[in-house]
Amino acid sequence: MDENLRLGTDYRPPEVKVHFSYPEDHGSFAHATNRCVGVGKCRHMGGGTMCPSFMATREEEHATRGRARILFEMMSGKGEIELWKSDEVRRALDLCLSCKGCKKDCPVGVDMATYKAEFLSHYYRGKPRPRVAYAMGMIGRWASLGSRAPGLANFLLQTPGISGALKRMAGIAPERAAPTFAHRTFRDWYGRRGSRAQPGSPHVLLWPDTFVNFFHPGVGKATVEVLERAGYRVTLPKRALCCGRPLYDYGMLDTAERWLHKILRTLRNDIRNGVTMIAMEPSCLAVFRDELPNLMPDDEDAKRLSRQSVLLSEFLEGRRWEPPQLAGRKAVVQSHCHHKAVMGFESDQTMLERLGLDFEVLDSGCCGLAGSFGFEAGEKYDVSMKAGERVLFPKVRESSPDTLIVADGFSCRTQIEHGAGRRAVHLAEVVHMALRAEAVGR
C-alpha cells in the first residue's frame, strides 16, 4: 500500500527516543504503530497463533488491531491520549500475551510484543511497577537465590498457607503451583561431571537458561549427552547469566540491556571465535535472534551472537545428524509461539520425523501461559486457561498415557502440567530416550 495513504498526508509522527531500532520502520516507533491496515486477520478464530487474547475474550480491544489502533492514536497526537503516560493504552495492552503471534501471522508484521515492551518502558519511567513485575520479571535473580537452599524454597513455595501468602504478596494467581526447584542445578551437575567428549571434538557453547538450570535440569543433561553423542564438546558460560526474557513482558528494558551487555562481555571470546551457541529454551533463543539485534543494531558482537545462536534441532539438522529411531511411539507436540514466530518450527519437525515418531503438531496457538502472563492473578489467569482449553488441554487429555507429550518451552510444559495433568518432555529428552533405547538394544 502507498505509504501516504496509510499515514495520511497530514500525519507527522513525533520524534521520540525509543529502545528498539524498528529496522522495518526507518527506526520510527510511530511508523511501526501505523502498520495495521485494518483487515482484521487478528480477529479470526480458525487457528494459527494470532491472537490468543482475542480468541479468549472475543473483544476488539483485546485483538492486535485494537491495540495497534490505540497506539497509533497516541503517536498521532490527534486524540486526548497522552504520549507514553496513558492508562487507557496500558489497559489496552494489558492482556497482550507478548506471544509474537502477530509478528508472524499478521500480513503486515505488526509486532505487538515489541510495542508493548517499548510502551511499558516509558510508561513506568520514574514510577514503580506492580509487584508482580519485580516478582516475575526478575525470576532469574529469585531462582538463583532459591537454588541455594532448594529444599527450603520448595517447602515455602508448596506449603499451602505460606505459599498462598507469598503468591498474594507477589500478585501471582492462587491457582498456580510454583515450579519446583531441582535439588541440583544443571550448571552444578555439569561442573561436577565435566565433558566426556572425545579429544579433538569440535566445540559448542550451551546456553543454560534460568528455567533449565534451576527447574528442569534433565533437559540440560539430555542435551549435553545428545551433543556428545553427535561428536561435540560442550562448554557452558563461565558465570551464571540470564538472557532476561521475562523483563520484556514488563518493559524493563534498561535492565534487559544491562544484562545483554554482561552476556556480550562474558562470551566475547567465544563469540569472536565463531563458536555456535545452542539454546534449549525457544523464548531465550528468541531474545538472541530478535530482541538483541533490535536493541543493539550497531554492536558487532550482538550481531555475531544473534547469527551464531541456534536451537538443538537446527544445529543437528544443519550437520545432517541422524538420531536412532523411536518408531512406533506416538507424540503430541506443542510448539512454543516464539519458536514459530522467530525461528520457525521446521527443524524440530524434521527431527521428529527422523526419530520415526507418529506425531501430531497441534494447531493450538499459544499455550496461554506465555512466560509470566498466565501466572498473574485475575483476568490474565482466566485468559491463560481459556487459551489452553481451546485446543491444547483437550488434545493432551484425550491422548493415551503412552503418547509422548512434547514441548520445548518451559511455559508450555508448565501449562500442560497445570491444565491437563500430564508431564511434557523437551525434544532433547526425546532424542535422549532414543539413544538409551538403542543402547539397551530395546
Cα 51 from Cα 341, distance rounded (Å): 13
Binding region for ligand SF4 (CB under 6 A) out of 93-101, 161-169, 209-217, 285-293: 93-101
Q: Does 110 bind ligand SF4 (CB under 6 A)?
A: yes
Using the rule CB under 6 A, give the single segment among 102-110, 154-162, 263-271, 292-300 that binds ligand SF4. 102-110
Concatenated DSSP letters of 199-232: TTPPEEEEE--HHHHHT-HHHHHHHHHHHHHTT-
The residue among 32, 23, 171 whose CA lies nearest residue 94 is 171
Interface pick for ligand SF4 out of 19, 20, 34, 101 (rule CB under 6 A): 101
CA angle at 339 for the pair 397 and 430, rounded to the nearest 5°: 55
Give the residue from 339, 346, 317, 392 showing the smallest Cα distance to 47. 392
Cα first-last separation, the chain: 59
E strand intervals along 304-345: 309-311, 330-334
CA distance 5 to 10: 10
Minimal distance, residue 387 CB to ligand SF4, in Å: 9
**Total residues binding ligand SF4 (CB under 6 A):** 28
Interacting residues with ligand SF4 between 42 and 81 (CB under 6 A): 42, 50-53, 64-65, 67-68
Cβ at position 67, least distance to ligand SF4 in Å:
6
* Least separation in angstroms between CB 275 and ligand SF4: 32
Bond before 51 cis per omega within 30 degrees:
yes
Residue by residue, DSSP assigns 227-275 as HHHTT-EEE--SS-----HHHHHTT-HHHHHHHHHHHHHHTHHHHHTT-
Looking at beta carbons only, is 240 or 362 nearer to ligand SF4? 362
Alpha carbons 252 and 105: distance in angstroms, whole number = 26
Nearest to ligand SF4 of 27, 107 (CB atom): 107
CA dist., res. 120 & res. 143, Å (int)? 24
Shortest distance, CB of residue 106 to ligand SF4, whole angstroms? 3
Biggest CA–CA distance in the chain, Å, is 73
Which part of the chain contacts ligand SF4 (CB under 6 A), choosing from 77-85, 94-102, 320-328, 423-431?
A: 94-102
Tell me the window of 15-23, 108-116, 138-146, 290-298 that interacts with ligand SF4 (CB under 6 A): 108-116
Question: Shortest gap between Cβ of 77 and ligand SF4 (angstroms)?
Answer: 21
User: Checking DSSP bridges between strand 203-207 and strand 233-235, what pairing results, if any?
Assistant: parallel
Q: Which is nearer to ligand SF4, 209 or 249 (CB)?
A: 249
Per DSSP, what are the bridge partners of residue 203? 233
Q: What is the per-residue binding string for ligand SF4 in 3-42, x denoting contact by CB under 6 A?
A: ---------------------------------xxxxxxx
Q: Is residue 166 part of the contact set for ligand SF4 (CB under 6 A)?
A: no
Would you say 100 or 304 has its CB closer to ligand SF4? 100
Cβ distance to ligand SF4 smaller for residue 56 or 316: 56
Give CA torsion, residues 343, 306, 35, 60, to 10 deg.
50
Member of 92, 99, 226, 396 binding ligand SF4 (CB under 6 A): 99
The torsion region of residue 184 among left (phi > 0), alpha (psi -120 to 50) and beta comes to beta
What is the nearest approach in angstroms of ligand SF4 to the Cβ of residue 44? 9
Contact between 170 and ligand SF4 per CB under 6 A: no
Instruction: Please name the amino acid found at residue 218.
Output: G
Among 18, 92, 102, 178, the residue binding ligand SF4 under the rule CB under 6 A is 102
**DSSP run (H or E) holding 70:** helix 64-76
What is the C-alpha to C-alpha distance for residues 123 and 434, in angstroms, rounded to an integer?
49
Q: Which is nearer to ligand SF4, 163 or 415 (CB)?
A: 415
- Please report where in the chains the cell 482449553 appears, as a residue: 389
**In angstroms, what is the minimal distance from the CB of 418 to ligand SF4?**
19
Going residue by residue from 112 to 131, which x/- string records binding to ligand SF4, judged by CB under 6 A? Answer: xx------------------
Q: Which stretch binds ligand SF4 (CB under 6 A): 91-99, 209-217, 284-292, 421-429?
A: 91-99
Of 129, 113, 116, 108, residue with least CA distance to 171: 129
**Please, which residue, 114 or 306, has the CB nearer to ligand SF4?**
114
CB of 48 to ligand SF4, least distance (A): 9
Q: Which is nearer to ligand SF4, 8 or 38 (CB)?
A: 38
Residues 368-427 that bind ligand SF4 (CB under 6 A): none
User: Using CB under 6 A as the criterion, which residues of the chain lie in contact with ligand SF4 when the complex forms?
Assistant: 36-42, 50-53, 64-65, 67-68, 96-102, 106-108, 110, 112-113
